[in-house]
Amino acid sequence: MHDQNKYLTKYVLRYCRNFMTDEERLICDYLLYKEYPTNNYKVKFIKYKLGLTPKIEEALDAIFETKTKEEFYKEMVERIVKNHNSDLNLCPKCNEVARTDTAKQCRFCSHDWH
């Protein structure tokens, strides 16, 4: 049995950034930034790109004092699915999320809708 939430979360993070609020997008980028070692060159670029100041980082860290990263993702994904369900690439047979936003074959039931 597969974990639908895991696949749906990955899909939303990769293909549905345009449905995220500005705040959600910043938080997702910040969480990605936090996964890298602090001396990594990508960290410096992401920090610059996001315009992260120590005060903003403190505010973002404060968000996760009351909820986990998984809870944040779950809430965001639920909101996007609720508001943009018709824009997601779902299998017409089993209603599971496709591997990509342009895929035409279901990875779960193998249904093909080319």
Residue 73: exposed, middle, or buried by beta-carbon count in 10 A (0-12, 13-18, 19+)? buried
Closest CA to 10 of 62, 73, 53, 85: 73
CA 63, CA 52: separation in Å to the nearest integer? Answer: 15
Amino acid at 96: E
- 45-96: per-residue pLDDT in tens? 777 888 888 898 899 989 999 999 999 999 999 999 999 999 999 999 999 9
**Mean pLDDT of all residues in 15-28:** 94
